[in-house]
């Protein structure tokens, strides 16, 4: 494994790897997300989320603004 932070472009239903790596960081929790386990992200904000819980928290915070 590379043990390196990947640079990713988040697309609808897919991702594009800009710089190779093996993980990204959750925008809410700061947890490391292995690329093979990356499931949740926001295309508009270009952010990754560790799980549906973090994605839900982000969505709630956006709805409040």
- The span from the CA of 6 to the CA of 47, in Å, is 13
Per the domain annotation, does 1 fall within a domain? no
Per the domain annotation, does 28 fall within a domain? yes
Q: What is the pLDDT of residues 1-34, one digit of tens each?
A: 568 999 999 999 999 999 999 999 999 999 999 9
Expressed as residue numbers, the domain containing 43 is: 7-64
pLDDT of residue 2: 65
- The span from the CA of 57 to the CA of 12, in Å, is 20
- At 64, is the pLDDT very low, low, confident or very high (cuts 50, 70, 90)? confident
pLDDT of residue 45: 97
Per the domain annotation, does 2 fall within a domain? no
Q: What is the mean pLDDT of residues 27-54?
A: 97
Task: State how many domains the chain has.
Answer: 1
- The span from the CA of 55 to the CA of 33, in Å, is 13
């Amino acid at each position: 494994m590379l043990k390196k932070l990947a640079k990713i472009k988040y697309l609808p239903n897919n991702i594009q790897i800009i710089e190779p790596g093996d993980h990204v960081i959750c925008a809410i929790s700061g947890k490391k997300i292995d690329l093979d386990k990356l499931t949740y992200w926001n295309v508009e904000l270009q952010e990754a989320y560790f799980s549906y819980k973090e994605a839900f928290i982000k969505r709630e915070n956006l709805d409040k603004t």
